[in-house]
Amino acid sequence: MLDQVATSALSGKLVIDLTRVLGGPYCTQILGDHGAEIVKIEPPKGDETRDWGPPFHEEDSAYYIGVNRNKRSMGLDLTQGPGQQVLLQLLENADILIENFKPGTMEKWGLGYEEVLRARFPKLIHCRVSGFGGDGPMGGFPGYDAIIQAMAGWFSINGEKGSEPTRLGLAGVDMGTGLYSAIAILLALAEREHSGQGQYLDMTLYDCAVSLMHPHIPNYNYSGKIPGPTGNAHPNISPYDTFRTKTVDVFIGAGNDGAYAKMCRALGRAELIDDPRFIKNINRVEHRAELKVEIETSLMRIDGHEICETLAKAGLAVGPIHNTQQVVDHPHTHHRQMTIEKDWYKMTGTPIKMSRTPGSLKRLPPKYGEHSTELLTEFGFSSAQIKDLIDKGVVLTQRRR
């Protein structure tokens, strides 16, 4: 990941990134990791996640640092007419515009896709990320990760059986939307190769969260039963749960009858294979509590790390439960280059592994407005124009407090 890559998958693609917080920045970091030129346009007060700490590095939060590498930053006041004109000049050679303003904001500024951008920049791919979209019963309403988790059913199926509705401990809606948005952009780029035309991508947190409610929505659609939380157990598979051992809790997943039989033999419990309660997955799901007791009776006499190795070598999906420090320090994390370091920067690597055009770390996360002058120069603004824009507060090199 740290090696410089001369040609990456998205080399030569220019992305104008107006997004803030998480979903949009996560999307553009993925594109930047794989060679796209990302111009991060920040409002006068900056991306608010710069303040979402502690912890901080030189006044920027770890939260911001985590999703903003491989970008250059420009401060720009888009509420002013001259700022809108600057954006239009930046879009002259852009492939992608991505923003997460409240629906209607770009239109209010005279920058709407249908009204202005489509005709002026026919090859431009305009990706909008919003909470609910611009129309419909919830159209235009603000949406944040936890609110969408709650509304899309995630709270209702998370937690232990009988527990209160619980937020997922990851920003899965935001990051999932970032992933879906990256996919949508790549699809649009592929289609543009044939048509020569850009298009508008209407991405919402709500849609993405609903699409990720698997298997709960399919289960409801075909059973009529409203799913609830099952803790660490899977609603459709058994055994697929956490189990106590002599030393450490482990997770075992046996997704078919063959895997279940392997587990029983590895635990010295071959008699459980033909037990009428556990013969097929449907039987094991119906008697999951009894099966868990049988498995833990054996595991409680065994070292958890040793049995994980034994079961893994037998072909079982199994692993100990790690905390964040153990994940960061794990040898396999390092082997897969999922912890990367450069100077002060230490972060997760890219999970997208490509043989000829791997991702790379080209730029550390930018300070606010760090590249404002540099970028304006590259986009054809004269020294006098740049000075005038900065003097008038249209372009910024430092955050407005």
Beta strand 125-130 pairing with 96-99 = parallel
Q: Where are the domains of the chain?
A: 14-212+334-396, 240-329
* pTM of the complete model: 0.93
Beta strands in 26-95 (DSSP E): 37-42, 56-57, 60-61, 72-76
Confidence label for 1 from pLDDT (cuts 50, 70 and 90)? very low
**pLDDT tens digit string along 309-324?**
999 998 999 999 999 9
Confidence label for 108 from pLDDT (cuts 50, 70 and 90)? very high
Name beta bridge partners: 130: 204
User: Which phi and psi (to 5°) does residue 286 adopt?
Assistant: -70, -30
**Catalytic center residues:** 174
Q: What does the alpha-carbon distance between residue 169 and residue 155 come to, in Å, rounded to a whole number? A: 11
DSSP code per residue over 285-351: HHTHHHHHHHHHHHHTTS-HHHHHHHHHHTT-EEEE---HHHHHH-HHHHHTT-EEEETTEEEE--S
> Is the CATH number 1.10.3720.10 carried by domain 14-212+334-396?
no
**Domain 240-329 CATH (choose: 3.30.1540.10, 3.40.50.2300, 1.20.1630.10, 3.10.20.30):** 3.30.1540.10
Average pLDDT of the residues of the chain:
95
**Is the alpha carbon torsion for 307, 310, 314, 315 positive or negative?**
positive
Confidence label for 401 from pLDDT (cuts 50, 70 and 90)? confident
**pLDDT tens digit string along 2-12?**
445 568 999 99
